[in-house]
């Protein structure tokens, strides 16, 4: 999603988190809702739209959709500070804790929630599982900034997670969609995919934008300097990610309008495992950080990294593997619709926890006696 900057650089806890969001991000659920409606109207007006889109393809995806997916991913990956991977972090505990939770617990939790809450909806269930395979690398920086989290740790986590996704996303996808259901004797109801199908989509829709983003940052900083790149260039291209997302949503809903309008409750059910995932991952990570006596800023960075998901990649992979008219692709779109209000709510929770449980100059968790 678009990672345009907050409307002010003031990080005072007294300033309302919602007020500090840019207009673009604050109204994101509204933009997504409008794109959904526009897509349904477009589909009714042009019933042969799918045939027209399929005339030119990139692999199995029509060229217009491929362009939209690239536009959605490139600005996000151009913003990643890749040099942060080698940066020295004074306290490595939040980084290690977050990486373990994100890559070991997160996918397993989403797999469990999807099967518990969507047992009769295999396509949506598969789409939700795909969402849980990778952490957010875009708006997570906004949530951490609004909550007063550690920006250095956030930059390190985003850079590391961006590269890990390229390497392990296809392996995790194959394991949780094919191998593990077979071990547990779960009926996948005919959904059969290969590891190469997932890997190919990851290489095209994550690998290509990743290389482009890395080269853009490297060349841009070398020629114009880091300050120009961060303060001038990135704000200009940041909204393109949202435009790419909205374009993809319009097309997706145009092709699935009948499915959505005929079974709205089934579509709404997609939100249930996502809501549960956000809450469990955030509170679980934040609580563990408190047990480890992590400073507030480090703990907030770890918790928000764990709670968010890379919906852009999930949508791209679902479209690449299952097609733009699939239920798997539709499931990916529901995520960003609810992510903003839920994560904004968790920012308020984080700021409350900071006032309630953290004291002293280093903002480490206070003892029970101190709080009383």
**Three-state SS string across 304-338, please?**
HHHHCECHHHHHHHHHHHHCCCCHHHHHHHHHHHH
Q: Is the pLDDT of residue 340 over 80?
A: no
- Coil vs helix vs strand at 25: helix
Please write the tens of the pLDDT for every residue from 264-317: 888 889 999 999 999 999 999 999 999 999 999 999 999 999 998 988 889 889
Instruction: Judge contact between 279 and 33, C-beta under 8 A.
Output: no
Q: How many domains would you assign to the chain? A: 1
* Within a domain: 366: no
Say if strands 358-359 and 364-365 run parallel, antiparallel, or are unpaired. antiparallel
Phi and psi angles of residue 86, each rounded to the nearest 5 degrees, phi first: -90, 5
Spatial separation of the C-alpha atoms in residues 132 and 54, rounded to whole Å = 29
Please write the tens of the pLDDT for every residue from 25-83: 667 778 888 988 998 899 888 888 877 877 777 766 778 888 888 998 899 889 888 88
Give the rounded percent of residues in the chain with a pLDDT score beyond 70: 87
* Within a domain: 11: no
What is the token pair recorded at 27?
Answer: 């109204």
The domain in which residue 223 lies consists of: 17-358
* Within a domain: 116: yes
Please write the tens of the pLDDT for every residue from 211-267: 999 999 999 999 999 999 999 999 999 889 889 888 988 888 888 777 777 778 888
What is the token pair recorded at 350?
Answer: 């984080």
Predicted TM-score of the model (pTM): 0.83
- Coil vs helix vs strand at 12: coil
Between the CA of residue 319 and those of 11, 143, 316, what are the distances in Å? Answer: 38, 27, 5
* Within a domain: 364: no
* Within a domain: 104: yes
* Within a domain: 9: no
Listed residue (342, 287, 332) closest to 311, CA to CA: 332
DSSP for 107-155, please give it.
Answer: HHHHHHHHHHH-TT-HHHHHHHHHHTTSB-SSTHHHHHHHTT--HHHHH
Give me the CATH number covering residue 200.
1.20.1530.20
* Within a domain: 73: yes
């Amino acid at each position: 999603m678009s990672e345009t900057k907050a409307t002010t650089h003031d990080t005072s806890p007294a300033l309302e988190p919602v007020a500090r969001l840019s207009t673009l991000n604050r109204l994101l659920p509204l933009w997504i809702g409008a794109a959904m409606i526009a897509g349904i109207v477009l589909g009714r007006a042009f019933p042969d739209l799918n045939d027209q889109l399929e005339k030119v393809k990139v692999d199995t995806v029509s060229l217009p959709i491929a362009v939209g997916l690239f536009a959605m991913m490139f600005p996000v990956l151009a913003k990643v500070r890749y040099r942060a991977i080698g940066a020295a972090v004074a306290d490595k505990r939040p980084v290690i804790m977050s990486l373990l939770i994100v890559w070991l617990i997160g996918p397993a939790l989403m797999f469990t929630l999807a099967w518990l809450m969507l047992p009769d909806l295999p396509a949506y269930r598969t789409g939700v599982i795909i969402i849980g395979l990778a952490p957010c690398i875009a708006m997570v920086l906004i949530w951490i900034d609004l909550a007063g989290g550690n920006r250095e740790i956030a930059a390190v986590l985003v850079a590391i997670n961006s590269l890990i996704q390229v390497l392990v996303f296809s392996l995790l996808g194959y394991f949780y969609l094919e191998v593990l259901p077979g071990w547990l004797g779960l009926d996948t109801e005919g959904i059969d995919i290969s590891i190469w199908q997932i890997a190919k989509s990851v290489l095209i829709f994550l690998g290509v934008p990743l290389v482009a983003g890395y080269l853009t940052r490297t060349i841009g900083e070398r020629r114009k300097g880091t300050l120009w790149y961060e303060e001038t260039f990135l704000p200009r291209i940041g909204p393109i990610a949202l435009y790419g997302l909205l374009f993809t949503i319009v097309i997706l809903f145009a092709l699935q309008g009948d499915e959505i309008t005929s079974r709205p409750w089934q579509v709404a059910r997609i939100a249930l495992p996502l809501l549960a995932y956000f809450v469990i991952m955030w509170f679980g990570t934040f609580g563990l950080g408190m047990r480890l006596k992590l400073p507030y800023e480090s703990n907030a960075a770890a918790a928000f990294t764990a709670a968010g998901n890379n919906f852009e990649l999930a949508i791209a992979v679902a479209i690449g593997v299952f097609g733009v008219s699939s239920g798997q692709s539709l499931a990916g779109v529901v995520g960003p619709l609810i992510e903003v209000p839920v994560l904004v709510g968790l920012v308020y929770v984080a700021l409350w926890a900071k006032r309630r449980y953290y004291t002293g100059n280093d903002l480490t968790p206070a003892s029970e006696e101190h709080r009383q």
